[in-house]
Structure 1
Amino acid sequence: MASSSTSSSIHKTSFKYDVFLSFRGEDTRTNFVDHLYHALKLENIETYKDDKNLEKGKKISKELIQAIEESRFHVVVFSKNYASSSWCLHELVKIMECQETPTDHNVYPIFYHVEPTHVRKQSGEFGKSFAKHENDEVAKKWKEALIEATSLSGRELRTTADGHEAEFIKLVVKDISSKLPTVYADGNLIGMRARINVVVSSLRTFPDEVCMIGLTGMGGVGKTTLARAVFDHICKEFEGSSFVENVRESSNSLLLGLKSLQQQVLRDVLNRQDIIVNGVFDGKTMMKKHMPSRKVLLVLDDVDHIDQLKALAGEPSWFMKGSRIIITTRDKQVLVAHKVNSIHDVSLLTDEEAICLLRRCAFGTEIPSPGYKELSEKVVSYAAGLPLTITILGSSLCDAKEDVWIDTLQELEKIPLDGTLQRLELSYKGLDTNCQEICLDVACILKGWEKDEAIRALESCGFHAIRGLNVLEKKSLITTRDGCLEMHDHLQEMGRYIVRRLHLEEPNKHSRLWINKEIKDILGSDHGTHEAIRCVEMIGLEINPEIVMKGLGHMKQLRFLHVYTYYSNTDWKSDEVCPYFPDALRWLSWERYPFRSLPKSFQANNLVELQMRYSKIVELWEDKDRKVLHKLRFLDLDNSKLKNLDLDQDYHCCIRLLLLLKITIAGFEVNTAGAKLTLLMFLILLSEDDKERIVMT
């Protein structure tokens, strides 16, 4: 799934603040320091600035002392009147004391309209300010702190950027940002810094050229994780950036395809959300035209065909010199064919790294609980150095007792050396039934869905979705990125295999269907019932709606149906086709539904959510039939041909809802005349082009 070009790195470790600003308020608070503070915040650098403007007494406050101790970087802005404030000098002494402790504190001096020599020797205008304190008992400590601070590396405004403050601030922020350790959103990354350095070093080998490099290796070895870490580490150096995830899966999707990925790259890099790509050739033309205008960082993740690279990074001439393209793939030959500058084999974890990762996942620390040292080493020996396998095993053993560890080891011993999916399945087996079913639904259908919509779909089918998804996340079986559900392709492969393995040659006996060819064959079969089928997703399947309706007649236990396909402009009439939906349906979404109404035979007494966007439906039920819809909670008829929804007539008992009913409409009116509303709330989502009228009489 596409990702935002915004960096997801977070500059923090055990420190509360990245930067503490020490400054003389009357000199710099409302000008230079204010601008510096906001520049640091824009770079996601957590900065402490004392805005209270209180400099009372001889001692600094406990709050400031704590802030100094909890800050990694201390930026000291020396100005003409800095030394006139005993408050500032006390601050400086405390800051320099922190340098003597065995922590990772750093001091960065800035000389703002003062010379470093004057600060060091307390001479010039700076010396005049300091002279006020010559008789103070602590003056000696202050002098020592000034001398020590000025000996450290920093920047002087007078000799930098020709004295231009805006450019000077940019350089200061860049200095600080480059020295802050990058801690990524995934706190369990092990051995990543060395791998990042190798890749970054390779990228900088060709400073004045367009550089394309490849990261290759088997599934689960950490190619995407490394690419993401490098992206987060250097993306601020570029004028535009884009991280394109799951190229293989997205480019093969009938809904997305390569043109959507080209569109994503253009939107990310140019920061324009109005860009529309109508086809792959059109996308190539647009990229050739616009990409050379700025230096970009582009990551193409999980590429498996040369055509994908030709569409997304066809030639170096598409990009400005200095641009960088990182490609991850399992197929090294794709990189060779595209003539990338260099190829890096992503290495497996060393034994030491693997043990550290397992312990972090299982114990939350690299120090094992008493009695588990040997057990953790044995578990790691079966993971073959694959970070994904280690993460899944460790997460599944989190808070587990010793007998569970021993049982897991016994299971691992039975799995062949090449049985990666079987090792991953051990975590699945440890789930309760509710979580297992949710895991399979994500693997087969819900991967890439917005989490909120996935929760609705799962809950409509009777699952405890929020709890289940939380369990899966804790066990590292799924992740959430940009509000959408994600699952590693190895885990997705495992889940889909679990669904299919008992009847590999008989898809009509599978609980979930998502492969168009199999769905088409099953729908076209007139023989027998398909009682096992619970969920069907048809994306871009070209098939006559009449065949779909006839096939659904054999799926009596179908609870979930998601159809997204295109049809001709023909209006299909129910008397021609006899539409049919199983009464067991709980979640029904059919974009561009081709019929004028729902079939009269469909009682919908279990239906929780109904989506019919862009449909040709003109009335909900054939002949305005009245239905009892006790369970309906969500109704989405956006951009359909239905112009009037009379709840009293069309939904006789739908009005007895005890929860929120969400209705998304566009261009038609809702009439609740005579309806016996019980705790009913309407949430109307207005479209940009349409206004809705709600008639309440």
Structure 2
Amino acid sequence: MATSSSSVDSTPPSSSSSSSSQSCKHDVFLSFRGTDVRNTFVDHLYSALDEQGIYTFKDDTTLPRGETIGPSLFKAIEESHIAVIVFSENYADSSWCLQELAHIMKCKDERGLIVMPIFYHIDPSELRKQKGKYGKALAKHESENKSVDSWRKALADAGNLSGDVANGPERRFIKQIVDTISNRLPAPISSDSEDLIGIKARLQHLKSEMEKVSDRVVVVGIWGIGGGGKTTLASALYDEISTNFDGSCFIKDVREESSRHGLEKLQEKVLSLVLKQEEMKVNRVDEGRRLIKSRLFRKKVLMVLDDIGHLDQVKGLAGSRDWFGDGSRIIITTRDNNLLDARIVNVVYDVRLLREDEATKLFHKHAPRHGMPVEDYEMLSKEVVSYAGGLPLALKVLGSFLRDKDTSEWKSALARLREIPNSEVVEKLKISYDGLGPLEKELFLDIACFFRGVKKDVAMVILDACGFYPIIGVKVLIEKALITLSYEGTFEMHDLIQEMGHYIVRGENPKNPEKHSRIWDDDVLNIIAVDSMKENDIIEALNIKYYNGGCPPSLPEVLANMKELRLIWFFRYEATSFPRDFQPMNLCYLGLVSCSLKQLWNGYKLLPKLKVLNLYFSRNLVSTPDFNGLPCLERMILRGCRSLKEIHPSIGYHERLIFLDMGGCTRLELFPPIIRMKKLETLRLNGCFERCKFPDIQTNMDNLIELSLRRSGIEVVPSSIGEYCTNLRSLDLSECNHLQSIEGNFHRLKHLNVLHLNGCHQLNNIPVEGLFDVDCCLQMLSLRGTSLKKFHQVMVSIKHFSFSRSLVRLNLAACNLVDGEISSVIWKKFFNLRALCLSKNKFSRLDSSLSQLPRLKYLDLSSCEDLVELPDLPASLAILVVRWCDSLEIVDLPTKLKWLWNLDVLTESSTTMVDVKKVVQSMLQGNAVEDYFLSLSVSGTQMSAKRKTFVLELLPNWYNEFSGFLIYTTGDDDVDYQRLSQSF
């Protein structure tokens, strides 16, 4: 185990490239006192690093014979990514170690070397205060007329770094160090090979242009039309040269990210990635400029700023070449040549579009022939390639559009393309839009204008409220290559595709933005400038984010005049309420995230089509509106409205509400009685009821399937839940610290599948007649951290186990269970149990009847520190976790476990013995080997010193579908690692 020695940290982990270069020959340089740790700790650490493929300089293994020690070691330090210093008891006795340390700290300050101190059985304060053995060693060096000032400073500086202190099992300590080093080594961005058609020649040309520049810092501007391959080229260049720098970063979508989060966030990102420091805070752009210049001007930096949209972004992130150290390379991509200021940029590279042969190859990739006559296919493909003019994105979009079409459809499409002027590249893509149906067109325009970068599940709710049937429509848009889904689940599209959507909207009336159907960001200012008092019946949707300037004072009046709005999505709307005459009768979605509203409006207001009301994190909101005016409301999100004190009584009468999330409304004083909310399916009241009681339910809520009261202040689960919510599927009462009692009609919850009672420390009143009906179908019961003293008495009675037939997952972790508390009566009833967690309990043995669970696949006994032996295990077991069971001496598994494929016996104890051969043999010959990979994690075990080989008999024809063996072994702390070899 390792602990931090100080809050000052110069070497944080980084997800980008580290201070590495191709001239760096070593990943890690090890500095240590040989007589202290060479053959023990350092030897084990070196082997562990080597096994992870981390190339490490260690003077007795890496230094070529015959070379002079001093210069060679100094050079090795300079050619390493990371320096690991092992401060041991006698480290300061060696003047050579101190010279080495001084050079390491010099390289840290001047070259950005990452320094990781390890305090091996010494206190970091000895370095800082220079007392004890370290103080005596320095005094002795001084008495020998050695100059020790630089050594003292280096020791003090190293003592102030955040390091690892050895205070636990050495194997775990070494693993933690290796993991930290792995995270700090560079991981360059890789380019998608699909998009590299034609890039190689362009990359070589760009590099040759860069080599012509003699300036100490080269700033390259890559510019060209959107979709022409600028980002792909920059990524390929980054991949090739990123290891040649002290620090590097690739900042994607600067224009969009700056608009969305502010330039300060991008400045923080640059500093964090290049300096490998987390939580760099920038409050103002000017402050960020000063920080970038002051912290990077000595470093050799590679920075890619992708898609710059404004000169202020260049000035804020790379304002001058003298901000960076010698040899730095700054790469800027933009579609606007005017942003490439000659005072900053000394290489301008115009991205060439694809040659005909390259374009043909790319187009054929997206539009294969699929049975079309060869002559027709080649002729029509040539026409499409010629029309696209070598623009990669146009080739992909048109290829996807023509895929699976016949010859006549290709000819028709090409005929339509000829009507679009070649000078208007955006219009070239409009053919895909024209092929959509009316609803898909509206859906596409909404995504292009409002939902790029938004989580799909969030956007789908809004789009569905607008009546676009998005489940079908989104599938069509993906097939037409108009949108994509990112790995993070957000809607994405290429810049040109989005520009096409904007072009279509603005083309509705180019000179009059107030006549556009959709308005976003700055366009609202133009509307206000025209006439804020003029009624508008054209604008349908608004998406406005005010990160810095706040909303215009006249915006509420403008909103009041927009009579046809169906969608409003504001971020940080700063008015305290909407105007009295705001009443868009077609409004379907009203989203006001992190806004300053205290109330939506005064009194009653009719919005007959509103389906979604999202007031997420509107912290100033005190009250809600009269819901009688929102008869179609289906979803309401009030999560994080911390000032909300009361809900209008009309909510209890709302018959169409389906989803209500009020998590985190901690000041709620009144939740009205639920009288007619018959359609409600999800009710989340997490963190509520510190000041009020659970609402009185007075009607059947047959549609309610999810009720979450996690971290709420309820003391009693009322009987009304069991009486009126009889179709409930999931109930979460976790961490209800005041919960003392569950009323006695839970037996009516016949459809309950999931019940969470985790961390209910005060729960002590369970109804005597039982919680569940004989027909209950409970599948998961989680009682983690809940005392079972009273609960166990109820459970032992057979009649209280009506759900035993359906229960599949049971979590009894950290329930203070001791020997005998779980009787054989319980196990005999749970014959369908698949997963059982008993971790962090206090029993030493378990009843042998556990083996009578015929379908149990997963058993977790981890951190049961008093467990001395394993019980009889069911033959069905597939995964067994017994890690950190330090009292367990023998893990002797029966050969009957034919389905076992995952065994975890990691432990701090050196006495736990596992018959590894028997376990592996059982795994290899079992049924699981046909369907699963096999995993065995064992620590604290020893192979017999007499056994020199370990033989496994494999199944016949084992090699038919063989993927490989991954074998990892460590030696004991006190002996050398032994070489492991395999032969077949």
- In structure 2, what residue type is equivalent to 1:363? P
CA-CA distance at 1:424 after TM superposition? 0.9
Higher-RCO chain (CA-CA 8 Å, sequence separation at least 6): 1
Instruction: Determine the C-alpha separation between the residues in 2 that align with 1:609 and 1:587.
Output: 6
The Cα of 1:448 is off from its aligned counterpart by: 3.2
Deviations 1:412-435 (A, max 9, x none): 222233132221101111122332
**5+ long unaligned stretches in structure 1:** 9-29, 43-111, 116-159, 169-179
Paired residues of 1:188 and 1:361 also in contact (CA < 8 A)? no
Q: For 1:322-361, what aligned pairs fall within 5 Å after superposition?
A: 322-361=327-366
- From 236, 251, 265, the equivalent of 1:229 is 236
How many residues of Structure 1 are paired with residues of Structure 2 in the alignment?
Answer: 532
Query: Is the contact made by 1:612 and 1:637 (CA closer than 8 Å) also made in structure 2?
Result: yes
Deviation at 1:212, TM superposition (A): 1.9
Match of residue 591, structure 2, among 555, 566, 589: 589
| Aligned 8 A contact 1:668 1:693 in 2 | no
Q: Distance between the aligned counterparts of 1:281 and 1:644, measured in 2?
A: 43
The match for 1:423 is 428
Supply the RMSD in Å over aligned alpha carbons: 4.4
1:210 is aligned to 2:229: no
| Aligned counterpart, 2:566 | 559
Q: C-alpha separation between the residues in 2 aligned to 1:193 and 1:684?
A: 57
Q: 1:306 to 1:504 in 2, by over 3 A?
A: closer
Instruction: State how far apart, in whole Å, the 2-side matches of 1:454 and 1:271 are.
Output: 35
- SS of structure 2 residue aligned to 1:502: coil
Deviation at 1:601, TM superposition (A): 0.9
1:258 aligns with 2:266: no
Where 2:332 maps in the other structure, the secondary structure is strand
SS at match of 2:409: helix
SS in 1 for 2:599: coil
Residue 404 (structure 1) shift: 1.4
Deviation, structure 1 residue 261 = 2.5
Partner of 2:315: helix, strand, or coil? Answer: helix
- Say if 2:319 is the partner of 1:314: yes
- 2:302, 2:238 → 1: CA distance? 8
Letter aligned with residue 668 of structure 1: R
- Distance (whole Å) between structure 2 residues aligned to residue 339 and residue 321 of structure 1: 15
Secondary structure in structure 2 of the residue aligned to 1:408: helix
- 1:454 and 1:7 mapped to 2: Cα distance? 31
The corresponding residue for 1:411 is 416
The aligned residue for residue 746 of structure 2 is none
Shift in Å, 1:223? 1.1
Question: Is 2:229–2:351's contact at 8 Å kept on the other side of the alignment?
Answer: yes
Find the aligned partners of 1:234 and 1:398 in 2 and give their Cα distance.
38
Supply the distance in 1 between the matched residues of 2:510 and 2:81 (Cα, whole angstroms).
65
**Aligned residue in 1 for 2:532:** 524
Which of residues 381, 391, 395 is equivalent to 2:400? 395
Structure 1 residue 681 and structure 2 residue 682: aligned?
Answer: yes
TM-score, scaled relative to structure 2 = 0.48
- 3-state SS of paired residue (1:264): helix
Higher helix share: 1
Residue equivalent to 1:151: none
Q: Pick one of 351, 374, 383 that aligns with 1:378.
A: 383
Residues 210, 319 of structure 1: 8 Å contact kept: yes
SS in 1 for 2:508: helix
Distance across 2 between alignment mates of 1:670 and 1:347: 65
Partner of 1:509: 515
The percentage of aligned residue pairs carrying the same residue is: 33
Distance, in Å, in 2 between the alignment partners of 1:433 and 1:418 is: 27
- Greater Rg, structure 1 or structure 2? 2
What secondary structure does 1:213 align onto? Answer: strand
CA distance, structure 1, for counterparts of residue 636 and residue 274 of structure 2: 37
Describe the superposition over 1:466-497 as per-residue Cα deviations: whole angstroms up to 9, x where unpaired.
Answer: 44334333433234445443333332222122
Which runs of no fewer than 5 residues in structure 2 stay unpaired? 1-12, 18-43, 56-60, 65-74, 84-186, 692-709, 719-984
State whether residues 14 and 277 of structure 2, in contact with CA within 8 Å, keep that contact through their aligned partners in structure 1: no
- Provide, for residues 312-331 of structure 1, a one-character-per-residue CA deviation record: whole Å limited to 9, x for no partner: 11233322434321011234
Cα-to-partner distance string for 1:7-40 (whole Å, 9 max, x where unaligned): 79xxxxxxxxxxxxxxxxxxxxx99997556448
> What does the per-residue CA deviation read over 1:377-422, in whole Å, with 9 as the maximum and x for residues that have no partner?
1111111111122122112112222221111111122223313222
Q: Indicate conservation of the 8 Å contact 1:629/1:653, yes or no.
A: no
TM-fit CA distance, 1:293: 6.6
| 1:283-342 Cα shifts (integer Å, max 9, x gaps) | 111112333475432111233554432221123332243432101123445435234342
Aligned with residue 189 of structure 1, among 185, 189, 196: 196
Instruction: Confirm or deny that 1:489 pairs with 2:492.
Output: no
| 1:270 CA drift (Å) | 3.6
Could you report, residue by residue, the CA deviation over 1:121-152 in whole angstroms, capped at 9, with x for unpaired residues? Answer: xxxxxxxxxxxxxxxxxxxxxxxxxxxxxxxx
Counterpart Cα distance in 2 of 1:347 and 1:166:
37
* CA gap 1:282/1:167 in 2 versus in 1, 3 angstroms: closer
Instruction: Report what 1:636 is aligned to.
Output: 638
SS at match of 2:643: coil
Q: Distance in 2 between matches of 1:296 and 1:165?
A: 17
CA contact (8 A) 1:7 1:232 kept: no
Q: Return the alpha-carbon distance in structure 1 between the equivalents of residues 600 and 711 of structure 2.
A: 21
What amino acid maps onto 1:244 in structure 2?
A: I
* Cα distance in structure 2, aligned partners of 1:7 and 1:394: 35
Q: Is the 8 A contact 2:618 2:640 kept in 1?
A: yes
CA deviations over 1:164-185 (Å, ceiling 9, x no partner): 99999xxxxxxxxxxx999733
Contact 1:7 1:235 in 2 (8 A): no
**Who is 2:227 aligned against?**
220
Q: Which residue does 1:668 correspond to in 2? A: 667
Report the counterpart of residue 735 of structure 2 in structure 1.
none
Q: Deviations over 1:346-395 (max 9, x none)?
A: 11100000111111111299x99774122111111111111122122112
Taking structure 1 as reference, are residues 604 and 457 closer, same or farther at Cα in structure 2, changes over 3 Å only? same
Q: 1:31 to 1:594 in 2, by over 3 A?
A: closer
Q: Which residue identity does 1:616 align to in structure 2?
A: N
Counterpart of 1:536, as a letter, is: L
Letter of the aligned partner of 1:641 in structure 2?
S
| Equivalent position of 1:651 in the other structure | 651
1:500 maps onto 2:519 in alignment: no
Q: Which amino acid aligns with 2:437?
A: D
- Asked if the contact 2:561–2:582 (Cα under 8 Å) also holds between the matched residues in 1, the reply is no
Distance in 1 between residues matched to 2:290 and 2:80, nearest whole Å: 41
**What does 1:281-320 align with in structure 2 at a 5 Å threshold?**
281-292=286-297, 295-320=300-325
Change (3 A) 1:523 1:485: farther
Alpha-carbon distance change, 166 to 213 in structure 1, aligned in 2, over 3 angstroms: closer
Q: 1:483 to 1:324 in 2, by over 3 A?
A: farther
CA 1:464/1:240 → structure 2, altered by over 3 Å: closer, same or farther? farther
Match of 2:712 among 682, 693, 697: 693
Partner of 2:770: none
CA distance in 2, matches of 1:364, 1:322: 49
CA displacement at 1:558 relative to structure 2: 1.5
CA contact (8 A) 2:587 2:607 kept: no
1:631-666 CA distances to partner (integer Å, 9 max, x unpaired)? 4324035255313447xx2512447545x5444435
Distance in 2 separating the partners of 1:563 and 1:615: 15
TM-score by length of 1: 0.65
> CA contact under 8 A between 1:522 and 1:551: conserved in structure 2?
no
Secondary structure of the corresponding residue to residue 356 of structure 1: helix
Task: Choose which of 527, 532, 542 in structure 2 pairs with 1:536.
Answer: 542
Q: How does 1:48-127 map to 2 (within 5 A)?
A: none
| Counterpart position of 2:144 | none
**Kept after mapping to 2: 8 A contact 1:447/1:487:** yes
Identify if the C-alpha distance between structure 1 residues 331 and 681 changes in structure 2 by more than 3 Å, giving closer, same or farther.
closer
Q: Give 1:580's aligned residue.
A: 582
The answer for the alignment partner of 1:278 in structure 2 is 283
**In 2 relative to 1, CA 418–471 (structure 1 residues): closer, same or farther, beyond 3 Å?**
same
